[in-house]
Structure 1
Amino acid sequence: MTEYHTQLHRPSTAKRPVTQIAGAVFTALTALAGLSFPIATQAQSALPSGTDALVEVEILDGGVTADGTYIGALRLTLADGWKTYWRAPGDAGIPPRFNWRGSRNVGEMSMTWPSPEVFSTSGYRTIGYHDQLVLPIEVTPAQPGRAVRLKGRMELGICKDVCVPSELSFDHQLDAKAGRNPAIVAALASRPYSAREAGVRAASCRLKPTKYGIEVEARITMPSAGGTEVAVIEPGSPHLYASETSAKRSGQILVAKTEFLPASSGNIASVDRSQLRITVLGSKHAVDITGCTAG
């Protein structure tokens, strides 16, 4: 059990209260996604009846760690050829939302996203998973020693030739006596490397006002993650969303650039560099970098 606990905490994923698990940039991004894809009603004959035939959800048990935290996972199984999206879905994807209303004895919760894939959909770059997604969850009970119940729903987009909004409900009491679950172990092992593991020596960010928001240019000193690297810069604020990130490598330095825009009407007051999250996706591995210095 100790080895399992060590694997779980390798990701640099900060714990947050359960009410803060989902980001709040979804509204603006979903609006963009709605403009980018044909809607399901334009191709109903190509769809199985109901989204239940396209994606199913179940909660996996992984037991309890030596620290008393519960291990579980959401497992999404997709119909052949269909995919769903990462937490930052790209220029035209639909980001997931989570609602944990009805859960019991949940104090803190953290999720570990496995390294996603990069897709080209209708000329747009999207980021996500095909066939199956196992999303590990660690729960700290509000009352140690008592049962933990995970209940709620997940709103997500699933896409093939068309993009279909879907809502999945779940309700499961985690099994404290369950053993190590191979599917959860594999998902944890496929998470991005930390900055230290990937040999990141420096990450700085230069901010510049634009007509509608703030341009962010990140300069990351690190070995190549392999192939043509794709970078994603997340603002770490529910009041902002990011446009697609461009990336270009020059020797040991990867330069990534995006623009932060307000999630609702108004201007951007400030950007906290310490809250920025930079993910680099390469053919060899992915890298998760938290925060950057002034550049």
Structure 2
Amino acid sequence: MRWNALPQPIRQVRIDRPGRRITFRSPTMRLLVPIFLMLSPLLVSAETKAPKGVDVALVSENRSIAAGKKFTVALKIHHHEKFHTYWKSPGIAGVPTEIQWQLPEGFTAGEIQWPYPEKSMMAIHPVHGYERDVMLLVDITPPAAITEKKVDFKATATWMACADGCYPGKISLDLELPVAAEPAVDPEKTGSFTQARQEIPQPLQHWATEVVSAVDAEEIRIRLKPESADAVLPQDVYFFSSDGQISSNKPQRLEVKDGVYEIVAKRSKFGPKGKTSLPGVLASASPLVKDGARFAMIEPVVK
């Protein structure tokens, strides 16, 4: 595709060498980052030897693996000060981190197990991502038989790191693990993997949830009703839409009446249409259930 064939807002961008900063000349361009990335082979193929804004590594929970025994690896992302990367559903702008695997024959990789997201800012636009350090967990399943004494796992990770500007990143990673009769967990990794699993949202308990607005309504209302004494009144609650139905650049508000809570949000103009459920992550400044987490997975349906 020729550069001068692109729409004017997309041409209003300056690209340095791969991995260098992207700067925008118009506010409109900030909303078109995902479109631009799909159209620009330069960014898709960008690979940095020294990633800007992040440090990325591939780590394993196991120090050895065994045939037929599933184990877990992680893409470990350390964010430099003021930088963030993106959740699976970034919001109004941004690009999710991706992992492409090159596995030995017979090995299979599961989906990324996404930690709970945070609210962040890309220029003037609220987005959903990570400013804290995170581990993106992936389960690997070996075949029923392995003849090699060691196995080499390769992956290519791509991401977008943003602060005052945005920097696309791509890196090839390699991990070698010995094969044994029984798998062995690396005790030095137990703590970090345990913490990572605790950051993965689980289904919300002790609350009834439903969408009380019409399908495709501009204003979306998510109703939360306690079902037991273990439900804890939420504080500073926020809903992260995992399929892009809710706009990240419009504020949400919480209404309370007779012990029933309603999160009121605006529908995204770019989200999917005709959906009868609303998947996402409910987050609160306080636990949502007694002795529970501050975040949980919900998928209320339209009533």
Using structure 2 for the length normalisation, give the TM-score: 0.64
Q: Provide Cα deviations, 1:150-197, integer angstroms capped at 9, x if missing partner.
A: 42322211112111121122222455434242211111122334212x
The runs of 5 or more residues in structure 2 that have no matched partner are: 1-28, 35-47, 287-293
- Whole-Å Cα distance in 2 between the matches of residues 83 and 261 of structure 1? 24
Q: SS of 1:184's equivalent?
A: helix
The AA in structure 2 aligned to 1:249 is: E
Q: Which has the higher contact order (CA 8 A, sep 6+)?
A: 1
- Whole-Å Cα distance in 1 between the matches of residues 125 and 195 of structure 2? 29
Q: Residue 169 of structure 2 aligns with which residue?
A: 166
Q: Residue 255 of structure 2 aligns with which residue?
A: 249
Counterpart pick for 1:227 among 226, 235, 253: 235
- Whole-Å Cα distance in 2 between the matches of residues 225 and 168 of structure 1? 43
The AA in structure 1 aligned to 2:210 is: A
Asked if 1:201 is matched to 2:208, the reply is yes
Instruction: Name the CA shift for 1:56/1:34 in 2 (closer, same or farther; >3 Å).
Output: same
The question of whether the paired residues in 1 share the 8 Å contact of 2:237 and 2:284 is answered with: yes
Q: Provide Cα deviations, 1:19-57, integer angstroms capped at 9, x if missing partner.
A: xxxxxxxxxxx983529xxxxxxxxxxxxx975253232
- Whole-Å Cα distance in 2 between the matches of residues 191 and 228 of structure 1? 20
The question of whether the paired residues in 2 share the 8 Å contact of 1:225 and 1:281 is answered with: no
Counterpart pick for 2:193 among 184, 193, 196: 184
The AA in structure 1 aligned to 2:103 is: S
Instruction: Name the CA shift for 1:278/1:130 in 2 (closer, same or farther; >3 Å).
Output: closer
Q: Residue 160 of structure 2 aligns with which residue?
A: 157
Asked which structure has the greater CA Rg, the reply is 2
Q: How many residues align?
A: 236
Q: Residue 76 of structure 1 aligns with which residue?
A: 77
Instruction: Name the CA shift for 1:116/1:261 in 2 (closer, same or farther; >3 Å).
Output: same
Instruction: Name the CA shift for 1:202/1:74 in 2 (closer, same or farther; >3 Å).
Output: same
Using structure 1 for the length normalisation, give the TM-score: 0.65
Instruction: Name the CA shift for 1:65/1:110 in 2 (closer, same or farther; >3 Å).
Output: farther
- Whole-Å Cα distance in 1 between the matches of residues 49 and 58 of structure 2? 21
- Whole-Å Cα distance in 1 between the matches of residues 284 and 158 of structure 2? 28
- Whole-Å Cα distance in 1 between the matches of residues 172 and 83 of structure 2? 19
Q: Provide Cα deviations, 1:176-231, integer angstroms capped at 9, x if missing partner.
A: 434242211111122334212xx222334644346xxx765432335567432221
Q: Residue 125 of structure 2 aligns with which residue?
A: 124
Q: SS of 2:114's equivalent?
A: coil
Equivalent residue runs for 1:76-115 within 5 Å: 76-100=77-101, 102-104=102-104, 105-115=106-116
The runs of 5 or more residues in structure 1 that have no matched partner are: 1-29, 36-48
The AA in structure 1 aligned to 2:144 is: P
The AA in structure 2 aligned to 1:200 is: W
Instruction: Name the CA shift for 1:209/1:62 in 2 (closer, same or farther; >3 Å).
Output: closer
Give RMSD over aligned pairs.
3.6
Q: SS of 2:85's equivalent?
A: strand
Q: SS of 2:184's equivalent?
A: coil
- Whole-Å Cα distance in 1 between the matches of residues 139 and 116 of structure 2? 18
The AA in structure 2 aligned to 1:156 is: W
The question of whether the paired residues in 1 share the 8 Å contact of 2:123 and 2:165 is answered with: no
Structure 1 range deviating more: 178-187 or 225-234: 225-234
By how many angstroms is 1:59 displaced?
1.5
Q: Provide Cα deviations, 1:78-116, integer angstroms capped at 9, x if missing partner.
A: 33332212222233333223322x223333514322223
The question of whether the paired residues in 2 share the 8 Å contact of 1:110 and 1:139 is answered with: no
The question of whether the paired residues in 1 share the 8 Å contact of 2:116 and 2:201 is answered with: yes
